[in-house]
């Protein structure tokens, strides 16, 4: 066994033994009353399994009080009160940062240090820990560690602009699913992806890490990668944006600042010096199952905030810097929020991140002209109802008719009259509000 792994496991093992003595083993009188031998028994066993070391620490004590663990988890917001979690899943909350059911802090029990410290150390070694317990019968901790810390392998994935690492030993399989199927799974949370006789709940991994990071399915034609993960009781499929291949990694500690963040195993430093976060898919599955019984949060804004006017966002697309500046100042003076794009390609990229309330569009631009932008907008379901006013020096009837035929709402010539533009915008915005 790798010497560094062995040395770093001394403290976690000591803490698990303290827990077994203080929390697990009952007093002699209680053990005799329960029909057990007067002396408690703690068994530590080691085995080699493939490229892993399997370490088990079991006691024949009172077991884990699941009711207290469940109550503590609900109190800390780790699970919904109505969540239907199995006993095995409830036990895993003991590994959360700062989680403890001890009423009195003693020297034997670890002086108030919880099992999260043990779990964090094991994760940094690239391992995993699972708890199993039966009330009145005892508790067993199963720790799986890599035979050596130098050969941990992980799958590198891309989510938006960020890269993440997922340990290969936590992945059940990898498949590719069409964007149309994924859209169905996201719009119907109860739908399941079936693979090899198993039903997987489908989630976008980026959204689980950052609520603002939504899956980008519009315009996608090729199937997207989906990672299959199986925990003890549940199966889940995580969609990612792309796969970057597998790498050998060394797990580094994230430090105490990240101790309370669920779903992270640590970090690794890449060859170019960049830091990549290592995810813990099993922890993400447990969190999703524990919290999915919660209703969607309803955000009630204070009365004074509701009373404030909502500023509409206008996108100005023009290749002229002067036109963009002049139009932005004019619209901001009228109380609008303004987003600018220097050409059609820039505009479509911005539309992936934010949908404005109205678009002011020029025709003649490099890379992609206004007609092509309008066609793209009208052929995309999420943008189809975006009002477009085309403002251009091409005032001929031929260009006007072509613009209106591809779905442009209004066509104005340059130089435009500010009051005419304002009235046209207000009319389109009011129509959009009524339709919504």
pLDDT grade, residue 100 (50/70/90)? low
Q: 150-291 — its CATH code?
A: 2.30.30.40
The position carrying tokens 């509701």 is 306
Percent of the chain topping pLDDT 90: 12
112-116, 189-193, 394-398, 422-426 — which is least confidently predicted? Answer: 112-116
Which whole number is the average pLDDT over 347-362? Answer: 87
Which whole number is the average pLDDT over 142-159? Answer: 79
Long-range contacts of range 409-418, CB-CB < 8 Å, 24 or more positions apart? 416/391, 418/330
Which whole number is the average pLDDT over 46-51? Answer: 75
Cα Rg, the chain, nearest whole Å: 29
pLDDT for 151: 55
Mean pLDDT of the chain: 82
Long-range contacts of range 2-10, CB-CB < 8 Å, 24 or more positions apart? 2/146, 2/147, 2/148, 2/149, 2/150, 4/149, 5/53, 5/125, 5/145, 5/146, 5/148, 5/149, 8/121, 8/124, 8/125, 9/55, 9/121, 9/122, 9/125, 9/143, 9/145
Give the domain ranges of the chain. 3-146, 150-291, 303-435
Distance of alpha carbon 427 from its chain centroid, rounded?
A: 40
Of 124, 90, 83, 101, the residue nearest 294 (C-alpha): 83
Beta bridge partners, 401, equal none
Beta bridge partners, 388, equal 359
Of 249, 15, 267, 230, the residue nearest 119 (C-alpha): 15
User: What is the C-alpha to C-alpha distance for residues 228 and 225, in angstroms, rounded to an integer?
Assistant: 10
- Tens of pLDDT, residue by residue over 4-34, are 777 888 888 888 888 888 888 889 999 999 8
**Does the pTM of the predicted model rise above 0.85?**
no
User: What is the C-alpha to C-alpha distance for residues 53 and 92, in angstroms, rounded to an integer?
Assistant: 21
pLDDT for 307: 41
Judge whether 408 and 424 are in contact, CB under 8 Å: no
- Tens of pLDDT, residue by residue over 192-235, are 888 888 889 899 998 888 877 888 887 777 889 999 998 767 88
pLDDT for 296: 38
- Tens of pLDDT, residue by residue over 293-320, are 433 344 444 444 444 456 788 999 988 8
The position carrying tokens 């040395």 is 7
- CATH number of this structure's domain 303-435, picked from the four choices 3.40.50.1100, 3.40.50.200, 3.10.350.10, 3.40.50.2300: 3.40.50.2300
pLDDT for 101: 61
Indicate if the pLDDT at residue 157 is higher than 90.
yes
Which whole number is the average pLDDT over 81-87? Answer: 80
The number of beta carbons lying within 10 Å of the beta carbon of residue 57 is 20
User: What is the C-alpha to C-alpha distance for residues 99 and 71, in angstroms, rounded to an integer?
Assistant: 12
- Tens of pLDDT, residue by residue over 262-289, are 788 788 888 888 899 989 888 888 888 7
β-pairing, 388-392 vs 410-413, is parallel
pLDDT for 237: 92
pLDDT for 56: 92
The b/e string for 353-379 (b: 16+ C-beta within 10 A; e otherwise) is: eeebbbbbbbbebeebbbbbbbebbee
Beta bridge partners, 199, equal 194
- CATH number of this structure's domain 3-146, picked from the four choices 3.30.565.10, 3.90.1300.10, 3.40.630.70, 3.65.10.10: 3.30.565.10
User: What is the C-alpha to C-alpha distance for residues 188 and 320, in angstroms, rounded to an integer?
Assistant: 44
Which whole number is the average pLDDT over 152-166? Answer: 89
Indicate if the pLDDT at residue 59 is higher than 70.
yes
The b/e string for 236-265 (b: 16+ C-beta within 10 A; e otherwise) is: bbbbbbeeeeebebebeebeeeebeeebbb
Judge whether 125 and 11 are in contact, CB under 8 Å: no
pLDDT for 57: 92
Judge whether 231 and 286 are in contact, CB under 8 Å: yes
């Amino acid at each position: 066994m790798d010497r560094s792994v062995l040395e770093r496991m001394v403290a976690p093992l000591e803490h698990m033994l303290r827990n077994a003595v203080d929390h697990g083993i009952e007093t002699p009188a209680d053990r005799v009353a329960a029909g057990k031998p007067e002396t408690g028994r703690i068994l530590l066993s080691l085995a080699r399994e493939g490229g892993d070391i399997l370490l088990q620490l079991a006691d024949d004590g009172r077991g884990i009080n699941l009711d207290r663990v469940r109550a503590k988890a609900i109190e800390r917001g780790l699970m919904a009160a109505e969540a239907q979690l199995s006993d095995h899943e409830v036990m895993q909350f003991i590994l959360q940062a700062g989680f403890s059911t001890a009423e009195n802090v003693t020297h034997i029990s670890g002086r108030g240090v919880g099992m999260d410290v043990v779990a964090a150390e094991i994760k940094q070694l690239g391992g995993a820990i699972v708890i199993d317990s039966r009330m009145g019968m005892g508790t067993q901790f199963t720790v799986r560690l890599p035979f050596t810390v130098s050969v941990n392998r992980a799958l590198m994935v891309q989510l938006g602009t960020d890269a993440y690492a997922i340990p290969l030993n936590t992945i059940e399989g990898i498949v590719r699913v069409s964007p149309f199927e994924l859209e169905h799974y996201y719009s119907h949370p109860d739908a399941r992806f079936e693979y090899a006789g198993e039903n997987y709940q489908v989630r976008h991994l980026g959204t689980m890490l950052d609520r603002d990071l939504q899956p980008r399915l519009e315009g996608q034609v090729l199937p997207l990668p989906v990672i299959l993960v199986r925990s003890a009781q549940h199966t889940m499929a995580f969609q990612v944006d792309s796969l970057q291949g597998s790498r050998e990694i060394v797990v580094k500690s994230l430090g105490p600042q990240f101790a309370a963040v669920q779903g992270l195993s640590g970090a690794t430093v890449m060859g170019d010096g960049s830091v990549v976060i290592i995810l813990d898919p099993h922890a993400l599955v447990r969190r999703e199952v524990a919290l999915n019984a919660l209703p969607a949060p309803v955000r009630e804004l204070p009365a004074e905030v509701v009373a404030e006017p909502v500023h509409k966002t206008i996108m100005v697309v023009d290749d002229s810097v002067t036109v963009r500046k002049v139009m932005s100042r004019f619209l901001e003076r009228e109380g609008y929020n303004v987003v600018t794009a220097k050409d059609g390609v820039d505009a479509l990229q911005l539309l992936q991140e934010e949908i404005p309330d109205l678009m002011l569009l020029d025709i003649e631009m490099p890379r992609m002209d206004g007609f092509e932008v309008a066609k793209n907008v009208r052929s995309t379901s999420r943008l189809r109802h975006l009002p477009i006013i085309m403002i251009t020096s091409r005032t001929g009837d031929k260009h006007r008719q072509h613009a209106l035929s591809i779905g442009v709402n209004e066509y104005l010539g340059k130089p435009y009259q500010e009051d005419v533009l304002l009235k046209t915008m207000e009319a389109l915005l009011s129509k959009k509000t009524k339709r919504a």
